[in-house]
Amino acid sequence: MTQRIQDQGLVLHTRPYRETSAIISVLTEQHGLVRGVLKGWRKRSKTAPVGQLSLVTVEYLGAGELKTLTRLEANRSLMPGPASMSLALLCSEACYRLMAIEHQDAETYHLLLSTLHHLQSEASKGVVVHFLKEFLILQGYDAERELNHEISLNKERPDNTAYNDASALSETMMLSLLQGVFQRCYPGKSIRTFNLIIKNRP
């Protein structure tokens, strides 16, 4: 019999599946990124079973990459207010699109949890820059080297010379450079929220 597993996690993504079910992606504390089918929720409710970035208790079973969720209980939402929402979604999307399925990674879970708590109280792109750099390190990349390489490729000053010191860059410029780092480190995978933040925020 397949073992039933219980863990704590953060909901990263939810989408309808077939007529009455949903596929839920949860970043769990002990088992990494888990994707599973929650059956029958559309019979019970016209809305998603839990909101994105809800802190949940999850139980699941199954041997393949797509599990069967037998329990998904929301404890509380960590989605910040409108001023920080897109920043929080950027962090969530990075985890959802780039992390390997069921790769145990408690450090990334706690990093995301801490970042969301910070974004509850302040809309700081600096907090997100820190998250993205730490995320790269936890995924095995030399974040500073990658960022310095990206800086050397970008010529943003009026005299067309490259920035040599990351401390001279605005947080928006740092996010723009980190977008380039992620595109190089994860070819073929895009994080759409980058563009939303860079284009719409000063």
Cβ–Cβ under 8 Å, residues 50 and 72: yes
- This prediction's pTM: 0.86
Distance CA 133, CA 135 (A): 5
CATH topology of domain 5-77: OB fold (Dihydrolipoamide Acetyltransferase, E2P) (2.40.50)
Tally DSSP H helices, then E strands, for the chain. Answer: 7, 5
pLDDT means per 10 residues, the chain with 202 residues, are: 88 89 94 93 60 94 92 93 92 94 94 95 88 94 88 60 57 85 90 77 50
DSSP E strands, 42-146: 54-61, 66-77
Q: Where are the domains of the chain?
A: 5-77, 82-200
Q: What is the pLDDT of residue 20?
A: 83
Q: What is the pLDDT of residue 19?
A: 81
Q: What is the pLDDT of residue 159?
A: 47
Instruction: Sort strands 32-38 and 66-77 into parallel, antiparallel or unpaired.
Output: parallel
